[in-house]
């Protein structure tokens, strides 16, 4: 087991390197980078932006008509701007160095978990990620727990009653829920229960109410969950189908095996057979997939939900950073997500062994 874990940890190094290298290469050819955006703002004579980026007044350069922009600089929007200003902006964003030097410098900083400063926000990248993380943790954790808490019992009940009316109508309900996009469910919930056109029962914005820190502890807990009801409901409906059907099919597959027939022949009750023998084998895929399911909800699929319910989490941060070409935030979140994804993959494999100790990881090559 130790050798397998070591191999997996060592394999993470080239994997993360490849992810970062490909992403960095793509950004070199993507138009509208931070330097081009700054130049576009400057060419529009936006003095406030000019002063913030360059530390000088816009008139220091814009009033020099005889010194046009650096022609052939490769930046759109550089026409009409002096070369000194273009060079200063390049240095401001770190684009005055060759791409390879910038890439390996970035990797060296990331190995020390030094992610630098955001281009457009007055904060370090790690502070931004930590600031947004409570929202994403809340959505990911409770969404996963509620989904598993419903899917597992429902899947078992469907497997026991396979082909019955209960099985048919529950399948219909969860498949319809899966087919409806989460953002449409979110909008419908807002219209119905958040003061849209009918009832104003649940809050529409944020994770807590104003003055939350002054509430008694029990009221803080209630207020926190009160804000989570609608977004978690919108996110959970689509997840029930996959988990429920996977649980049902896993149980049906195990129930038809020979060891179940043998257990029944020994006189064990149906409850003993189901939960004493079938449950552990059938739950292998479900339990081992828990870390990956949590990671998927934690880092993706919540952008529209965060936008609709005004929840400022990692999904919204990543999207806005990509749109604004805030490369320190983009690459830092990509690095963190990739690293966590690989670690979660290893934990999922170890979870398989915990569920079924018969699995031998030492015999695997990687």
Q: What is the mean pLDDT of the chain?
A: 77
Examine residue 365 and state whether it is found in any structural domain, yes or no. Answer: no
Q: 196 with 294, same domain?
A: yes
More confident residue, 41 or 69: 41
Going by pLDDT thresholds of 50, 70 and 90, the confidence category of residue 45 is very low
- Same domain, yes or no, for 61 and 148? no
Let me know whether 248 and 334 are in one domain: yes
257 and 338 belong to one structural domain: yes
* pLDDT more than 70, % of the chain: 76
Is the domain of 87 the same as that of 166? no
Rounded CA-CA distance 220/287 in Å is 31
Domain residues for 2?
A: 1-30
Q: What is the pLDDT of residues 227-256, one digit of tens each?
A: 889 888 888 877 788 888 888 888 888 888
- Based on the fold, state whether residues 290 and 167 are members of the same structural domain: yes
Same structural domain, 340 and 202: yes
* Both structure tokens of 265: 């022949």
Residue 325 belongs to some domain of the structure? yes
Q: Kindly indicate the confidence band of residue 298, based on its pLDDT and cuts at 50, 70 and 90.
A: low
Residue 356 confidence (pLDDT)? 65
Q: Which of 60, 82, 111 is the last residue of a domain?
A: 111
Q: How confident is the model at residue 297 (pLDDT cuts 50, 70, 90)?
A: low
Structural domain total, the chain: 3
| Position 55 confidence tier, pLDDT thresholds 50, 70, 90 | very low
What is the length of the chain?
366
Instruction: Judge whether 78 lies within some domain.
Output: yes
What's the rounded Cα separation, in Å, for the pair 343 and 15? Answer: 12
- Assess whether 237 and 206 both reside in one domain: yes
**226, 103: one domain:** no
Predicted confidence band at 17 (pLDDT cuts at 50, 70, 90)? very high
CA 84, distance to chain mean position in Å, is: 40
pLDDT at 221 over 60: yes
Q: Which of 169-173, 260-264, 353-357, 360-364 comes out lowest in average pLDDT?
A: 360-364
The answer as to whether 131 is a domain residue is yes
Query: What are the tens digits of pLDDT across the range 122-172?
Result: 788 888 888 888 888 888 888 888 888 888 889 889 988 888 999 999 989
- Domain termination site, one of 61, 84, 111: 111
pLDDT at res. 222? 92
pLDDT tens digits, one per residue of 163-206:
899 999 998 988 888 888 888 888 888 888 887 677 888 888 88
More confident: 165 or 30: 165
235, 314: one domain: yes
Question: Taking the model in full, what pTM does it have?
Answer: 0.70
């Amino acid at each position: 087991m130790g050798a397998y874990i070591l191999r997996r940890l060592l394999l993470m190094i080239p994997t993360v390197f490849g992810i970062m290298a490909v992403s960095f290469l793509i950004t070199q050819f993507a138009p509208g980078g931070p330097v081009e955006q700054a130049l576009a703002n400057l060419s529009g004579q936006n003095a406030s932006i000019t002063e913030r980026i360059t530390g000088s007044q816009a008139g220091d350069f814009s009033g020099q008509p005889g010194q046009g922009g650096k022609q052939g600089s490769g930046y759109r929007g550089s026409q009409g701007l002096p070369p000194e200003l273009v060079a200063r902006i390049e240095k401001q964003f770190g684009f005055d160095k060759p791409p390879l030097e910038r890439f390996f410098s970035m990797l060296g900083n990331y190995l020390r978990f030094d992610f630098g400063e955001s281009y457009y926000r007055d904060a370090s990248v790690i502070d931004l990620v930590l600031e947004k993380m409570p929202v994403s943790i809340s959505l990911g954790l409770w969404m996963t727990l509620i989904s598993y808490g419903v899917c597992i019992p429902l899947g078992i009940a469907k497997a026991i009653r396979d082909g019955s009316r209960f099985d048919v109508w529950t399948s219909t309900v969860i498949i319809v829920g899966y087919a409806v996009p989460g953002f449409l469910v979110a909008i419908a919930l807002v219209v119905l229960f958040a003061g849209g056109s009918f009832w104003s029962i649940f809050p529409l914005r944020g994770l807590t109410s104003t003055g939350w820190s002054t509430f008694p502890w029990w009221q803080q807990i209630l207020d926190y969950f009160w804000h989570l009801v609608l977004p978690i409901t919108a996110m959970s409906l689509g997840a029930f189908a996959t988990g429920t059907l996977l649980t049902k099919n896993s149980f049906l597959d195990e129930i038809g095996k020979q060891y179940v027939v043998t257990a029944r022949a020994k006189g064990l009750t149906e409850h003993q057979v189901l939960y004493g023998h079938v449950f552990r084998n059938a739950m292998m895929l479900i339990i081992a997939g828990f870390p990956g399911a949590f990671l998927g909800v934690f880092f993706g699929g919540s952008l529209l939900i965060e936008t609709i319910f005004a929840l400022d989490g990692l999904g919204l941060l990543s999207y806005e950073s990509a749109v604004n070409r805030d490369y320190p935030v983009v690459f830092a979140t990509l690095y963190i997500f990739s690293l966590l994804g690989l670690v979660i993959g290893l934990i999922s494999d170890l979870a398989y062994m915990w569920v079924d100790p018969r699995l031998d990881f030492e015999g695997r090559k990687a």
